[in-house]
Chains A and B, each alone.
Chain A
Amino acid sequence: MDKLGEAATLVRSGDAAAFQRIVDATSSRLVRLGARILGNVADAEDVVQEGYVKAYKALVGGEFDGKASVATWLYRIVANQAIDALRRRQRQPKPTDSVDEGQSDAGSAEEHFALRELSEWMSELPAEQRAALVLKAVEGLTSAEIAAIMQCSEGAVEQRLVRARAALRQRSLKS
């Protein structure tokens, strides 16, 4: 069992402080994942925080089966939280695709603008296509890994990727 697995066991047995170790070890990558899908750090922090709360409840409730590592499990939770947030955003769109205008995010202005560029480039894609594309082309996951996260077949993932790329290509031709 890895260190995060040991921490998860402690949390399950009532040591809530052990959850801090899990957060410290995973939050950087999870917030980056969320920011890449959602386009800004503030929204990413929201979904990651909610993901941690759900994970904590699941650990305490004994619902985590341990088939995958804690890190992989958290990654999947946050990816799906972000996809849900994207869906909600697309049902109630904001004029700026919810990209924050200020510089309140952590990190450099360059990172802020890169996240905004990524978000605006994919703003017209359906949530599933956008998430699949980020997971594949930005996060570097395989289609099998994306299929496991999105709970669909690899074929469905490939189809989403093809459609998303076609839409981006079409968009670049128009502009």
Chain B
Amino acid sequence: MSHEYEDPIDARFSDLAQRTHDVQARAGFSARVMARVAAEPRAGLGLVRLRAWHVLPFSALAALSVLWAVSASSAVNEELAASYDDVELEW
């Protein structure tokens, strides 16, 4: 099927979309992802019971780090917290 584009920019994008349509990950990508995911500690595991005064300085540091990260990060983190919108993409 061919399209007539008045705008050469649209025509070029259409061409590039077609030419990149079959781009895919390199072999073994899925396995690498799963290995990376498997290396992530599950929330709640590996916690060591410590007295509060052992934890307090680290907690304060962690809290400051979180505040900094929240202020510095972009939209990605908000994406993770919620899907928040009813605009559904075709898949």
Contacts and interface: CB of A to CB of B under 8 A. Distances in A.
Nearest to A58: B80
Contacts of B23: 31-32, 35-36, 41, 106-107, 111, 115
B34 A54 contact: no
Interface string B51-91: 00000000000000000000000111011111111111101
Contacts of A58: 80-81
A114 interface: yes
Interface of A: 14, 16, 19-20, 23-24, 27-29, 31-32, 35-36, 41-42, 44-45, 48-49, 52-58, 60-61, 63-69, 71-73, 75-77, 80-81, 83-84, 87, 104-108, 110-111, 114-115, 117-118, 121, 133, 137-141, 144-145, 147-148, 150-151, 165, 168-169, 172
Interface of B: 8-10, 12-14, 16-17, 19-27, 29-30, 32-34, 36-38, 40, 42-43, 74-76, 78-89, 91
